[in-house]
Amino acid sequence: MKSKKLYSTKQIWKIILSIFALIIISVSLWYTNYLAKKIQEEERLRVKLWSETVKKQAQLINLTNQTFDQLRAEESGNIQDWAFALKESSREQNDYTFIYSFLSKNNNIPKILEYVDLKSGRKEITFSGTDIPFGKEDFESEKEYNNSIKTIVDSWDSINSPIQIPNTNLQYQILHYGNSKLFEELKNKQKSLIISFENELIANSSSIPILYVDSATNEIRRTINIEQEKIKDSAAIAQTISVLQSENSRIEVSFGGENKGYIYYAESTLLKQLRFYPWIQLVIILLFLMVSYFLFSTFRKAEQNQVWAGMAKETAHQLGTPLSSLMAWLEIIKADGVPESSITEMNKDITRLNTITDRFSKIGSEVKTTEENVFSEVDKSLEYLRNRVSKQVDLSVSGSKNAIVRINTSLFEWVIENITKNAIDAIQGKKGSISFVVSEDDKKVILDITDSGKGIPSSNFKSIFNPGFSTKERGWGLGLSLVKRIVEEQLKGKIYVLSSKIDQGTTLRITLKK
């Protein structure tokens, strides 16, 4: 019973250690997930702060755009007045002082006058102005000079409508004008502000993947921490945006007018690595434990095998001396006139002791096997046991009588005897039966041993073959363990509990390869 308690204690410690390991793993995963959520919250807060900053910058840019509109309206009004003053200067008046003063003060807007003359019967065009960045001397012909001016005029006309000033039916002027220097400086500052925002976005993004897209053109304006392969074409861009959108809602950035964009972002690489790290760590730990368990199990098994072999060989050695003495005493008893029947039974027991000694000597050594009839070997073993066990237990063998397999007869008989003795103990002195059924197929021979004993709980199906496991008060838990070693290591077969029911009996199955 002590051996069973020892085994139960071992099982309890295994369960406790397993639970402790699971607790450590669970705490590690929980804490890592807690840290990941904290980092995720901080990243989301950072992006929200960016969005607030962007909104403030957008408001500033919108205010700048309103200033641009007001400035453009004022400049347009000034240029209209300038054109009117120019027209008035061509009329005959008594005093031109105010007109010339007005014309001279409105020089902050770049202007070019185009003279159109139709008096000669054909259209003649000449240009004049103080804002032309080159002179006629820079060109080989007047045509080239006029074409260059025409290029400047076309660019101004694309942003400001020209003003026609009539002189006569055959002569008029066209006023072309651009944006003032102040207007251009403010425009440049606006662009600089937008670029500054984009650069700030990149500088503060850390390792967060960010995609900044123009809403009007769907053009990518900035990317960071995104592989080039993911934005190589429109299909790849759409896929990337879809993935980013699935992780976080996009942030709309409006600068007023058509200047609008969307920020798409995902979790940082650090956060993703932190999420996967505990699982990688867990796999590494499990692999380490598996390798360690395998190595220690191999060493322990090898040590046990050496102990088993050493103990068996020492037992065989110790039995050798008294057996020799018993054989000598048997000869002396014969001379004293002891009945022949008694001498015959004593001879059988001495022969049996010799067999047991031979069995022990074979443990841990290479054994010779021969082709034998399993049915006959089982029947021979039971024949010896019938005269030495309780008459209340019926021993029987049935099934295939021609099942041939390679075995060592001495060790095989030991297996049969040990299983039979364990089955008799399970019957607990009551009337019962133990049956051996031999069957075969193309590859193996099967031996089923069924008793009518107390049965085995399903939780102990594998444990009964472990060294030290026993349900008997004075058992050592070595019988079935020895049987398993002989069947699997010496006879190259398998043994296991086929079925068992409490208070109804148990069936063990042995399979041996043909």
Distance, CA of 102 to CA of 424 (rounded, Å): 131
Distance, CA of 359 to CA of 367 (rounded, Å): 10
Q: Lowest mean pLDDT: which of 39-43, 51-55, 245-249?
A: 51-55
Distance, CA of 494 to CA of 156 (rounded, Å): 98
3-state secondary structure of 401: coil
Q: pLDDT band at residue 113, thresholds of 50, 70 and 90? A: confident
In the sheet where 111-117 sits, what is the strand order?
124-128, 111-117, 171-177, 163-168
pLDDT of residue 449: 96
Burial annotation 473-485 (CB, 10 A radius, 16+ → b, else e):
eebebbbbbbbbb
State what percent of residues in the chain have pLDDT above 70: 68
pLDDT tens, residue by residue, 175-209: 777 777 767 777 777 677 667 765 665 555 556 78
Give the residue with greater pLDDT, 139 vs 427. 427
Q: pLDDT band at residue 137, thresholds of 50, 70 and 90? A: confident
pTM of structure: 0.45
State what percent of residues in the chain have pLDDT above 90: 16
pLDDT of residue 98: 41
Mean pLDDT on 375-402: 90
- Which DSSP string corresponds to 271-286? HHHHHHHHHHHHHHHH
Instruction: Give CA angle at 31 (30, 33), nearest 5°.
Output: 65
Distance, CA of 509 to CA of 290 (rounded, Å): 30
Pull the structure tokens for residue 331.
């000869």
pLDDT tens, residue by residue, 410-459: 889 889 988 998 999 899 888 999 999 999 998 999 999 999 999 999 98
